[in-house]
Amino acid sequence: MPNSISYDFKSKGYSQVPFSRSYDFLKSAADIFLNFTDLKKEEKSKWSCNNDPLDIGIGYVRKQREYGALDNKEYFHYFPELPTYFTHPLSKAPSELKKLINVADKIFNDSIKVSQLALKEIEKGKQGAFERFFPHGSTRPGSGILRFLKYHPTTRGRHIAQGHYDKSGLTLALAESKPGLRIGFDEKDMRLVEHKSGFALTFPGIKFTKLTDGVIRPSWHEAVELDEKPYRPDCSRWAIVFFLHPEGIETASFEDHHRPLTK
Ligand SMILES: [Fe+2]
């Protein structure tokens, strides 16, 4: 049986694809993001987009359990058109944000290339899924989103991130500060995955399943605390993830993303 991406998706819920940036490069990018999160709350919130037309949370986002979120975390969502959504000009941004945008753009462009190769491999020349992700060979604003994630050490219990399906069509987990990502198909069937430098882990989100009429099931995944050693005092774990959304498929509800499907 060939070890293709779609075979991997069907048999274990994820695959590995070569990624042009090393772990060290991605770690430096994560440190640039963490430097941005060190700015004062008032400064960071200037780069949140309250009038987010895409309704996905763009720019700087903070989630807190006390306000109903599942995890305490901060993240930054980048896509090339992001600066046009800011209410402040990027020229007035602190150097921490300019550096973040600069490195994010490089990782975004590489993520698009890798996603295109992965989708072509999945499709094996058939027209269909690829066109839904890249109509006319290109992305639409917001169809690809790069996320820098910082989990706070206040996160309780063994889970750093609770089990869920991604809202995306295709996800690339590019790097994380330490092992702890578990992937499978449901709560009883998850395995700790090993992340190698120079490779991205890729797995299908819930929109991929809709796109393939259920042929490819979405990957249920979570992040667990294995050693309780934080990356730094205010950050238990960081991760860099790229999400790709196909056109024409509605985003499912919060409940649908957080409830495992039955086989
Ligand atoms: Fe996820």
Is 251 a member of any domain? yes
**115 is a domain residue:** yes
Which domain does 228 fall in, by range? Answer: 5-257
The answer to whether position 217 is within a domain reads: yes
Which amino acid does the sequence have at 188? K
Q: What is the mean pLDDT of residues 29-47?
A: 96
Q: Which of 195, 179, 148, 231 is nearest to 22 (CA)?
A: 195
Calculate mean pLDDT across residues 141-149.
91
148 Rama sector, left if φ>0, alpha if ψ -120 to 50, beta otherwise: beta
pLDDT tens-digit map of 89-112: 999 999 999 999 999 999 999 999
The packing angle between helices 95-123 and 23-37, to 10°, is 140
Distance 203 CA to ligand 1 centre (A): 10
Q: Report how far ligand 1's centroid is from the alpha carbon of 166 (Å).
A: 5
262 located within any domain:
no
- Averaging pLDDT over each range in 55-69, 103-117, 160-174, which range is the top one? 103-117
Structure tokens at 188: 């009883």
Question: What global pTM score does this model have?
Answer: 0.93
pLDDT in tens, 119-138: 988 877 566 788 889 888 77
State the distance from the centre of ligand 1 to the C-alpha of 249, rounded, in angstroms: 18
CA 182, 184, 185, 187 dihedral sign is: negative
120 within domain boundaries: yes
- CA 92 to ligand 1 centroid distance, Å: 33
CA distance 237 to 225: 9
All residues at 6 or more sequence positions from 91 whose CB lies less than 8 Å from its CB, including other chains:
none
Q: Which residues contact 164 (CB under 8 A, 6 or more apart)?
A: 220, 221, 222, 257, 258
Residue 202 lies in a domain: yes
188-241 pLDDT, tens digit per residue, is: 888 999 888 999 999 999 999 888 888 889 999 998 888 778 899 999 899 999
With respect to residue 263, please indicate whether it lies within any of the assigned structural domains: no
Neighbours of 252 (CB within 10 A): 16
- Measure 216 CA to ligand 1 centroid, in angstroms: 17
DSSP 129-168: HHHHHSGGGS--TTTEEEEEEEE-TT--SSEEEEEE--SS
CATH number of the structural domain spanning residue 242: 2.60.120.330
Query: What pLDDT band is residue 157 in, cutting at 50, 70 and 90?
Result: low
Q: Tell whether 162 is covered by a domain.
A: yes
What is the tally of structural domains in the chain?
Answer: 1
Give the residue-averaged pLDDT of 158-186: 90
Rg of the Cα atoms in the chain: 18
